[in-house]
Amino acid sequence: MILDQIIRCKVNFMQVLNNWLNNNHLSKFNIFTNTIFKQKCLLCASPQANKIGLCGLCLNDLPWHPKTSCPQCGLASGSGICGSCISSPPDFDATSAVFLYGFPIDAMMQRYKYGNMLSLYETFGQLLKDKAQLGSLNNSHVDLIIPMPMHPTRLKERGFNQALEIAKVLTKNDADKLDFRSVIRQKLTPPQASLPLKARVKNIKGAFKVNDDLTGKRIAIIDDVMTTGASLNELAKTLKKAGATRIECWVVARTLPHK
Ligand SMILES: [Zn+2]
Ligand SMILES: [Zn+2]
């Protein structure tokens, strides 16, 4: 009887706390509450969630990025570097993506960026870390990990840089590699998502400015979604001009090309 009351009290407390957190856009603290009280799967609410907040079934069902992709741009290729990267190589040298940008990753990403599920950065960061550690793309192979910079005006609007939050998880035990100061976004550009490829390239040109000498540095750029790669390419170009020798794009999700 007493035990029953305690359980009911805990459930009520959790509901009140979660409502309060959601209403106050503070679900970042869900990590805290989830640590104390058993976390449910973010997608199906099963109580079997692992430390990143997903159950085994949902994790298996996610649209994982195929292993047969082009190692340079991350798009589908039969084997090895794709024709497009051979004929017109991008300024970055490699791309590693965890997912294809499809359901439910797209919905999760929207919730992360524009909704109130800030705690997802922990999930995405951990998945990217696991992926990076499996392959040749690995923290020990790069000197610096640079999140895609955000213009101060956009940062003010959103309140956080999603790429930086993911990069922080990735460098939890490697904090000296996290570099969010060497390069800034100096140009306030319209959102890339609204533009076709050619306009995206023009839109992002000259957007970044490097403040440090990056001679000889091998750099991983962190971003949430890679679509045409125009922003990542412009950043890679700018970093190479500042002396970087190798640039890898580590992204949570890669979109398929538009037909
Ligand atoms: Zn699930
Ligand atoms: Zn390619």
Q: Tell me the backbone φ, ψ of residue 163, rounded to 5 degrees.
A: -70, -40
Confirm if 47 and 40 have CB atoms less than 8 A apart: yes
Residue 31 has pLDDT above 70, yes or no: no
DSSP 178: B
Give the mean model confidence (pLDDT) for residues 102-111: 88
pLDDT digits (tens, 9 = 90+) for 175-184: 999 999 999 9
Q: Can you give the pLDDT at residue 138?
A: 63
Q: Can you give the pLDDT at residue 141?
A: 84
d(CA 174, CA 235): 23
Q: Which ligand number lies closest to the CA of residue 229? A: 2
Q: What is the Å distance from ligand 2's center to 103 Cα?
A: 23
Strands 144-147 and 208-210: unpaired
Q: Can you give the pLDDT at residue 130?
A: 82
Q: What is the mean pLDDT of the chain?
A: 82
Domains assigned to the chain: 60-254 (3.40.50)
Q: What is the Å distance from ligand 1's center to 18 Cα?
A: 19
Give the mean model confidence (pLDDT) for residues 92-120: 86
- Reading the block at residue 192, the tokens are 């890339």
Q: What is the Å distance from ligand 2's center to 47 Cα?
A: 40
Q: Which ligand number lies closest to the CA of residue 81? A: 2
Q: Which ligand number lies closest to the CA of residue 53? A: 1
Q: Which ligand number lies closest to the CA of residue 76? A: 2
**How many residues are listed for the chain in this entry?**
259
pLDDT digits (tens, 9 = 90+) for 157-191: 988 999 999 999 999 988 999 999 999 999 998 87
Pick from 255, 250, 5, 9: nearest CA to 137: 250
